[in-house]
Amino acid sequence: MIEKLNVKRSRQKIIVYSIVIIWLVSINIWLLNTYYLSSSSSAEELMPTNSIYNEYETSNEGDDDSKDITDSSSREKSVKDELIIKILQKQLSKAKDTRTMDTPASIYKSIFEKHDIDSIFGNLDFDQRCQLFFKNLFIRDHNWIFNPNEDIQLENKNEFKFNDYKKWHMEEYKTEFAKQHHKNVDEVEHTPQFEDFVKAKYEDFWNRTMTYEQKIVDHVSTLRIFNKCFITSDNKTQISQTNQFIKDQFKLVDGVRRVSKKPSTPAFVSSKEENLVSFHSLESSVLEHRVYPWLSFELPVYERWTGRIQYNPPIMADYIKDGSQKKKSTTDSSSSSSSFFLNKLKQKSNGKGLVLSIGDSHVDDTVRLIHLLRALNNKLPIQIVYYDNLSKDTKNKIVTAATDLMTTVPKSFENVARYFPEDYLTNGLPKQEVWFINTYNAIHADFRQKFKKYSNKFLATLFNSFDEFILIDADTVLMQSPEYFFNLPGYIETGTFFYKDRTTYETRPISDAKFFEKLGPSIIDSVMFNIPIMTQYTLDKPFFKGLFHYMESGLVVLNRNIHYNSILMMLQLNFYTTVNGRIHGDKEIFWLAMAINGDENYTFNEHFAASVGKITPQLERAKPDGTEHKSEEICSPHPGHVSSYDDALVWFNSGFHYCGQLDAVDYAKEFSHKSRLKHIQSLEAFETFYRNPLQIEAAIIPPMDLNIHAVNAEDEPSKGWFMDKRYCNGYCWCGYSIIGGNTKEGKNNELVGKVVHFDDKAIELFKYYGDVWVGIE
């Protein structure tokens, strides 16, 4: 009986294996025929034959003499056009390539000129591919290095189309041309010679732009490949994924060659130049120093609130005993033998907590934030990361706020006491575990000037010692406990959580989107190193469709273990003026760095920022005919964030004072307008109102109105946001629940946003937290 069962099972296995083999061969034949028959059209999809930015084509409104300026690389046969590359991308990629361009690092050309494609993808494992890439970097230039101080200028991000360029520079070039040719300025504009002169100028501009953009592409490509090859090469998940990736490629290359009746996969043979590069001796010293020359390769200085100083990241479980801090197991990875500084830094991180990046000027807001965290019953540690010197007085104020006995709370606590544990005030509000981290000596002296203002936040992102952390600005106001953010489903799923900004009227040129798309992983990165290309998940973001402000970075939740390489990419992108010139401060770099790193495992709160406060009484904004608006309005200096999970207000920015610009306000002038806040009867009461906590009863999330001007005949707002510069020193934003309505033409362009009315419990808690933050007894 047992023998019969064994025979039966053997037959079943043979049948199953036969079906699998037939299926694989069929797939390979289909791929081969499909790509072979349509190779020319596929190549056009992968690399357009016109200029690298379709949107930037010269257009002279029917002028046939218009010069077609194209990226020289598009005229050459790209390695991506090879059949095996297309098949590998098609077979191994999980997402369809919907990008408008693909720009590989220039070093790939050198690599594939020396080696048969099949010999690479059919033989080399992941480590060997890393060696091949960096050997060729040294062959091309023994002195290659990423210099953060290299000045790469963004000439004008709006001038990529020829007509725009011509219009912008017309007067300048007319004067220059007239002087060179001894003519009057007024008689040169419409001459063929002047047109050729402008075209030559434009071609120079275009070539300079393509040159510096390719240089940034090369830098960014090398960075993400280096990080994957060496910094996170001990990550168990990455090892498993890359091993399977390489295994699948070997099978696919062999299968394609078999069905196309080619000989077996050719062996890989290193070139003479490659054999002369002693790769392993470069790993610890040269590579990391050349990719990260701005590092001193010293750890920061860690100072506990007690004054104790140490030169290794603290083990937070030694100080927080409630189980929230996890020690990192020594068996988690083989990093102890790693020679790379950044790998060791990552492996020394542990636990979770809050991270602030401040200077002395932020101390008052930081003290208020700490008081609020105590009122929120926060038990997580706080690390304050600073770049330059933080004065002793500032540290003393912060330590006092964090550790002094705090048993007296505002009177408004009486209305919310039932919402807190019975022992909430037994021993005073919880003291905070505070650490100061001085990064000054962790940065090479030649590059310290690169980390000023917003850039300091990226140092805090890298050099805090937590595995999981919430990065917050000093003027950020939390309405939920920090643990709330770590428990968000989106964070648990992806290891990130980001919040969107106001959908204001500011837009960006399409050239911005093309630039950032160009920096993303290429198809060659994808098939060579298993670095995913950008997908519609990123490209469908309103940022890529022209929205100027997309992310609000006052609160960012990150898991270092999952996104370490993306954190490193954030620091690199921050060095380029061509990046910073396209965004406001640090905001967009967080999520763009992830997408550019091939890491689309990030989550945004679905709601855009809201205007939070009190809904304006209809009597204060009646229509000219005295009737009420259909739309509702909240005017507030504070962008608020309403959870898309439960409509709770989770945080807002600009402090808790009604106006966060107190020292800059001309109170008499603003009071005299009397267009808003009409219930305030005296100048003294007006100033008191500004200094008191923001009163929060509702939130309005205006409708998304990108590139829409909902002009209507009903006196309803045509845009979701209006900046009333008469109040709060020009920083008062009014948000509207509805825009548009019936037009003069009889159409309806109405768009509806979202209004959230908070319940009594929430309003009472807002009042209590506001009193704590401002310091009202």
In this structure, are 644 and 739 located in the same domain? yes
CA distance 213 to 195: 27
In this structure, are 345 and 472 located in the same domain? yes
Both tokens assigned to 112? 């594939």
Residue 697 within any structural domain of the chain: yes
Distances (CA, A) of 441 to 343, 437, 463, 554, 577: 19, 11, 12, 26, 24
Per-residue pLDDT at 72:
39
In the chain, the percentage of residues whose pLDDT exceeds 90 is: 68
In this structure, are 429 and 533 located in the same domain? yes
Single out the residue of 120, 104, 97 nearest to residue 222, CA to CA.
104
CA distance 376 to 772: 10
Q: Which of 571, 596, 621 is the last residue of a domain?
A: 596
In this structure, are 704 and 667 located in the same domain? yes
* Total residue length of the chain: 777
Single out the residue of 119, 67, 98, 116 nearest to residue 265, CA to CA.
119
CA distance 510 to 544: 8
CA distance 410 to 150: 54
Distances (CA, A) of 244 to 234, 237, 248, 526: 15, 11, 6, 14
In this structure, are 374 and 445 located in the same domain? yes
Q: What is the DSSP letter of 706?
A: T
Distances (CA, A) of 152 to 105, 147, 565: 18, 11, 24
Residue 66 within any structural domain of the chain: no
Residue 122 within any structural domain of the chain: no
Q: Which of 566, 596, 626 is the last residue of a domain?
A: 596
Single out the residue of 491, 450, 446, 489 nearest to residue 470, CA to CA.
491
Residue 685 pLDDT > 90, yes or no? Answer: yes
Per-residue pLDDT at 51:
42
In this structure, are 543 and 687 located in the same domain? no
For residue 408, count CB atoms less than 10 angstroms from its CB and return exposed for 0-12, middle for 13-18, buried for 19 or more.
Answer: exposed
Buried b (16+ CB within 10 A) or exposed e, 461-471: bbbbbbbbbbb
Confidence of residue 62 (pLDDT cuts 50, 70, 90): very low
pTM for the whole structure: 0.89
Q: Which amino acid is at 275?
A: N
- Residue range 328-357, pLDDT digits in tens: 775 554 444 678 999 999 999 999 999 999
Which SS3 state, helix, strand or coil, does residue 470 take? strand
Which SS3 state, helix, strand or coil, does residue 392 take? helix
Q: What DSSP line would sit under 242-289, residue for residue?
A: HHHHHHHHHHHHHHHHHHTTPPSPPPP---HHHHHS--GGGIIIIIHH
Residue 176 within any structural domain of the chain: no
Cβ neighbours around 284 below 10 Å, total = 14
Per-residue pLDDT at 83:
72
We report the CATH number of the domain holding residue 402 as: 3.90.550
- Residue range 442-481, pLDDT digits in tens: 999 999 888 877 678 999 999 999 999 999 999 999 999 9
Confidence of residue 21 (pLDDT cuts 50, 70, 90): very low
CA distance 178 to 187: 8
In this structure, are 618 and 707 located in the same domain? yes
Residue 726 within any structural domain of the chain: yes
In this structure, are 671 and 568 located in the same domain? no
CA distance 611 to 638: 7
Single out the residue of 484, 429, 230 nearest to residue 341, CA to CA.
230
In this structure, are 590 and 622 located in the same domain? no
End-to-end alpha-carbon separation of the chain, Å?
Answer: 87
Confidence of residue 25 (pLDDT cuts 50, 70, 90): very low
Q: Are 510 and 504 in contact (CB under 8 A)?
A: no
The DSSP bridge pattern shows strands 639-642 and 738-739 to be unpaired
Domain count, the chain: 2
Span 490-502, mean pLDDT? 97
CA distance 348 to 200: 55
Question: When comparing pLDDT for 501 and 581, which is higher?
Answer: 501
Residue 75 pLDDT > 80, yes or no? Answer: no
In this structure, are 386 and 496 located in the same domain? yes
- Greatest alpha-carbon pair distance for the chain in Å reads 107
Q: What DSSP line would sit under 721-743, residue for residue?
A: EEEETTSGGG-EEEEESEE--B-
Q: Which of 553, 574, 596 is the last residue of a domain?
A: 596
Span 531-545, mean pLDDT? 94
Both tokens assigned to 365? 């807001």
Residue 219 within any structural domain of the chain: no
Residue 266 within any structural domain of the chain: no
Q: Are 79 and 112 in contact (CB under 8 A)?
A: yes
Q: Are 216 and 152 in contact (CB under 8 A)?
A: yes
In this structure, are 584 and 690 located in the same domain? no
Residue 225: enclosing H or E segment and its boundaries?
Answer: helix 192-226
In this structure, are 320 and 445 located in the same domain? yes
Phi and psi at 119, nearest 5°, equal -70, -30
* Half-sphere exposure at residue 306, Cβ-oriented, CA atoms within 13 angstroms: 5
Residue 91 pLDDT > 80, yes or no? Answer: no
Confidence of residue 282 (pLDDT cuts 50, 70, 90): low
CA distance 15 to 39: 35
Residue 552 within any structural domain of the chain: yes
Residue 76 pLDDT > 60, yes or no? Answer: no
CA distance 420 to 377: 9
- Residue range 397-449, pLDDT digits in tens: 999 999 999 999 999 999 999 999 999 998 899 999 999 999 999 999 999 88
Per-residue pLDDT at 234:
86
Q: What rounded mean pLDDT belongs to the chain?
A: 87
- Domain membership of residue 415 as a residue range: 295-326+340-596
Which SS3 state, helix, strand or coil, does residue 555 take? strand
